[in-house]
Structure 1
Amino acid sequence: MSSISKISLKHSLLQLQCHFTWNLRREDVDLDDLEETVGDQIKFFIESNSKNYNLLSYVHHLKNANEEALRSLKKAEEIVERNHPDEIARRSLVTWGNYAWIYYYMERYEEAQSYVSKVVNSCKKLSSTAQWTIQLPEIDAEKGWAFLKFGGIYYKRAKDCFEDALKGDPNNPEFNAGYAIAMYRLENYFHRECEDASLSFKPLKRAVELNPGDTSIVALFALKLQDLNQADEGERYIEEAMQKTPDLPYFLRYAAKFYRRRGDTDKALEIVKKALSVTPNSAFLHHQLALCYRAKLFQLKKSTRYPPQDQVEELIQRAIFHFKKVTDKRPKLYVAHTDLAKMYAEAKRYEEAKAAFQKAFQINNMPDSDKQQCYYYYGNFQRFQMKSESEAIQCYIEALKIENDSYLFHKCRTTLKKLLEQRIQGGSRNATDFGTLGFIHNLNGEKHEAIECYEKAVELCPNNEEYLSALCELQLSVSR
């Protein structure tokens, strides 16, 4: 193939709607874990297998297994031909786009071009105005599902995709389910509080109404009811769904979470273990199991002043074992590292706790909300386990530098203010304590109190440019 026609082919490929043009980056996921997750979903969700095989083909390509990728695409084609013989073109555009890209990377350019032509011709048949691509709700939804699989930084894009899909088919149960899941995950991903906590309620309710047989969505709706202090109503949904799909791991994982949060850890453990017997490598389920053991540990400590040490030790070790499983399988999942760190702290294994926290901080592209939470937890570790107030203060300050209106931002601010006031009342002559308290007062809009603190900081450390600058800005702002 000439260099000109190769450039022309690449230009054509970039116009296609498929996984290769959706900016799904390999560095944002653990490919082995994603391959396993998609494989499990192929096993349990037959109706969506063409989409899962399309995604699996992309994962195989990212793992340099293009022949395996082609086999996955062949399976996707067979499913569409079998289940939708009258809509083959409409439902195969993503598959054919993936074929074209994989053949291109295999340097089989004629086959790549043939699939490009297949997509172009099909688009023209489906829409008289189409040139290269066509706006179809099925493609928007498939894009949304792919974004959901690639993790938290893609959730907003997933929500947007499902919104686009619903414009074309507002009553489609699958599109409504995808939109509800995206909204639910967005709330949890950004640690939404207060009025934001109910944003996913209506989408989840709508999805359940459209397809009450989708027990995974039913379980998420039950969890949302629990969030909104309607746990009895939520349990009714869980119990009904348990009758419908008693062995579906994607339902059981959320049912277990429901009972753990309700305080019934024995029932939660029973359900998680049942789900793990079906999908034994699920990082999500190992995380749930570890959280159950942690909850039992806290219940035991709360129930008696002197809990049996052998039981305490056993629960700690079991929690550590399963948190460690999650960090091994999902090294980019920051919450697994912080949960493991906190459990090491419970075991007084402080060096291992520090190392786990450091691994969390080393995760690339961590969202600000996660980073803020990480600083808060590490600050607590430094304060309560390592007895280092100065290190804790520095962590809380770093958390506050990430300005947002989150629950943790306010908690850090309150904790830090109280801690600094205690130090100053105890006779501290540290300029940093006064400067930091000035910073907190300024955050709270308490400008006169902030000025007093910065004046004291400058008195103790006259040449500190940071304190002088902050003091000058504050004095100017109150004089205007």
Structure 2
Amino acid sequence: MTATTLKTRLLQLNCHFTWGLLEKDSDIDEIEERLHNQLEFLVSDYKYMVYNLLGYIKHLQSDYTESIANLDEAERNCLSTSNGTNCKLLVIYGNYAWVHYYLNQLEKSQLYIDKVNNVYKELKQTKDPKDIPEIYGEQGWSLLNFNRIYYEKAKVCFEKALKEASQDPEWNSGYATVVYRLVSFQAIKCADQQGELLKLLKRAVELNPKDSVVKALLGLTLQDLKRTQEGLKYVEEALEQAPNLPYLLRYVAKFYRRAGMIDEALCVLKTAVSLIPNSGFHHHQIGLCYRSKMFRKKNMANSGYQNQRINSREIQELIQKAIFHFEMGLELKKTHVYAYSDLANMYREANEYRKAEETFQKVLSFTNLRDEEKQEIHFHYGNFEQYDKKSEKEAIRHYKEALLIPGTFRDKRRCENALKKLAERKVTRDPTDASGFSLLGFVYKIQQKSADAIKCYEQALTLDPHNEEYLSNLCELKLAI
């Protein structure tokens, strides 16, 4: 068989090489590290999926010796837990075929294509080979682990897997997890969606009571629904179940921190860091805890509570601790976009304005920022310009940049409010300042309040009749009506 003919057959296989997992969409080294941590800490019959994905990751790194070694482990692990079914081998054999193709070992590649076909022949005795939940489930799990931009695709895969195997604990856990993440990223959480998520998580916990991580996600969802005490029960049950599982500890710490149990959160996170010292995520979470303690101390100091000098010293210590862990987190995970805003804001608290500016500029220079990330950075950068550098002009520029980003994300409302306050202040300060009315018109236009926006732009044009920008916006609004 020629290489061209073989490639055509390889493209028909259902495996990591045909699932569209693109290297440019993720930090490959970070994924590899995370997968090795999963192998060390997770106790599951589904470790074969971790080895399988690692085999693909090693291909992306052009390390084919390690790629085959991981696929060997995947096959061994799979055979030891297969319970007589060969469905789980399909993806492994597909990956083998692709790796041997890249090694120019065409006969071995063909051999594994034949193995895939033989498994399909066996399956025809029992089920339609097009509807294999093991393939859909593993695809969903791989997409979930690769990058958040694949979450919607992962959700669809888990839905297909559950259509054929509705009682499977792993696919129920995967489906509930991906829906949890999708809902948590939304700017405005819909009550119906949260109610549906709660059902999915409860079902996943019932089918898979040993899955402590899903149990913690259930606790966090209950906390979102203002049922904190009920959620705490699940979180503490999960912690008792797996006290040394780093992936669980991050969610437990998040629950504690949001509940105001900062010391408990710090205790849990320090355990997590002792287990995985190179986890940028855990260091970032520790920084958030010290930030919460700092804000609490500042509120106490502002209320005149306790000794002012002692409070001031403790506040500075907490700021430095937060900065240390935010910096450490970014050193370990340079792609954690939101951590840059947290670090820059903490530099502001320490009056280190040059470092704050450099941090904002550094993250804005990233070429692969998502729209919601850009919006958040511009909002915080605007605050920095307005309150620390006292540059109203630059603050307005950043708030407007944020609001011109399409979509409704969590910082949109805050940008609207900040810009509206600035506009109203300009108008109050100088009623003849056309720019104040124009800015107010811009906010109303973003809010789709066309009548109010038109009035503001008309007033701006009255004060500055030859301004083409004001006239253009006014015409656009009137034409839209």
TM range (shorter): over 0.9
| Counterpart for residue 321 of structure 1 | 324
Aligned positions of 1:129-140 closer than 5 A: 134-140=130-136
Matched, 1:191 2:176: no
> Of the candidates 149, 153, 161, which is equivalent to residue 157 of structure 2?
161
Deviation at 1:22, TM superposition (A): 1.1
Relative to structure 1, the CA distance from residue 92 to residue 385 in structure 2 (aligned partners, 3 Å threshold; closer, same or farther) is same
CA contact (8 A) 1:403 1:409 kept: no
Counterparts of 1:129 and 1:14 in 2: how far apart (Å)? 25
| Counterpart for residue 74 of structure 1 | 72
CA contact (8 A) 2:219 2:235 kept: yes
* Structure 2 SS opposite 1:200: helix
Relative to structure 1, the CA distance from residue 116 to residue 463 in structure 2 (aligned partners, 3 Å threshold; closer, same or farther) is farther
CA contact (8 A) 1:159 1:183 kept: yes
* Structure 1 SS opposite 2:411: helix
Counterparts of 2:431 and 2:334 in 1: how far apart (Å)? 41
Deviation at 1:463, TM superposition (A): 4.4
Aligned positions of 1:233-312 closer than 5 A: 233-305=230-302, 306=308, 308-312=311-315
Q: Which moved more, 1:134-143 or 1:433-442?
A: 433-442
Counterparts of 2:243 and 2:455 in 1: how far apart (Å)? 64
Counterparts of 1:379 and 1:56 in 2: how far apart (Å)? 42
Aligned positions of 1:12-411 closer than 5 A: 12-47=9-44, 48-84=46-82, 86-87=84-85, 89-127=86-124, 134-195=130-191, 196-305=193-302, 306=308, 308-411=311-414
* Structure 2 SS opposite 1:213: coil
Deviation at 1:276, TM superposition (A): 1.5
CA contact (8 A) 2:235 2:252 kept: yes
Relative to structure 1, the CA distance from residue 409 to residue 435 in structure 2 (aligned partners, 3 Å threshold; closer, same or farther) is same
CA contact (8 A) 2:301 2:311 kept: no
Deviation at 1:267, TM superposition (A): 0.9
Q: Deviations over 1:433-478 (max 9, x none)?
A: 3323212223334333322322233345544443222212333455
CA contact (8 A) 2:287 2:325 kept: yes
Counterparts of 1:332 and 1:430 in 2: how far apart (Å)? 43
Give the aligned residue type for 1:109.
Answer: L
Q: Which moved more, 1:387-396 or 1:184-193?
A: 184-193
Deviation at 1:193, TM superposition (A): 2.8
Deviation at 1:49, TM superposition (A): 0.8
Deviation at 1:225, TM superposition (A): 0.7
| Counterpart for residue 305 of structure 2 | none
Q: Deviations over 1:160-207 (max 9, x none)?
A: 111111111112111111011101111223334353554522211111
* Structure 1 SS opposite 2:430: coil
Counterparts of 1:353 and 1:23 in 2: how far apart (Å)? 38
Counterparts of 1:436 and 1:294 in 2: how far apart (Å)? 34
Q: Deviations over 1:5-44 (max 9, x none)?
A: 1111111111111111111111222222211110011112
Counterparts of 1:449 and 1:334 in 2: how far apart (Å)? 36
| Counterpart for residue 444 of structure 2 | 441
Relative to structure 1, the CA distance from residue 243 to residue 452 in structure 2 (aligned partners, 3 Å threshold; closer, same or farther) is closer
CA contact (8 A) 1:190 1:369 kept: no
CA contact (8 A) 1:216 1:250 kept: yes
Matched, 1:8 2:8: no
CA contact (8 A) 1:73 1:95 kept: yes
Structure-2-length-normalised TM-score: 0.92
What fraction of aligned residue pairs are identical, expressed as a percent?
44
Relative to structure 1, the CA distance from residue 188 to residue 354 in structure 2 (aligned partners, 3 Å threshold; closer, same or farther) is farther
Relative to structure 1, the CA distance from residue 194 to residue 349 in structure 2 (aligned partners, 3 Å threshold; closer, same or farther) is farther
Deviation at 1:269, TM superposition (A): 0.6
Count of residue correspondences = 473
Counterparts of 1:171 and 1:211 in 2: how far apart (Å)? 10
* Structure 2 SS opposite 1:90: coil
Q: Deviations over 1:274-317 (max 9, x none)?
A: 12111222222112111111111112212223353432232222
Q: Which moved more, 1:49-58 or 1:454-463?
A: 454-463
CA contact (8 A) 2:187 2:408 kept: no
Deviation at 1:403, TM superposition (A): 3.5
Q: Deviations over 1:189-229 (max 9, x none)?
A: 33343535545222111111212221111111111111111
Two-structure CA RMSD over aligned residues (Å)? 2.2
Q: Which moved more, 1:57-66 or 1:432-441?
A: 432-441
Relative to structure 1, the CA distance from residue 331 to residue 432 in structure 2 (aligned partners, 3 Å threshold; closer, same or farther) is farther
Relative to structure 1, the CA distance from residue 13 to residue 448 in structure 2 (aligned partners, 3 Å threshold; closer, same or farther) is same
Give the aligned residue type for 1:473.
Answer: E
Deviation at 1:420, TM superposition (A): 0.3
CA contact (8 A) 1:123 1:134 kept: no
Unaligned runs of 5+ in 2: 303-307
Q: Deviations over 1:23-68 (max 9, x none)?
A: 1111222222211110011112232210000011111111121100
CA contact (8 A) 2:219 2:231 kept: yes
Counterparts of 2:71 and 2:428 in 1: how far apart (Å)? 69
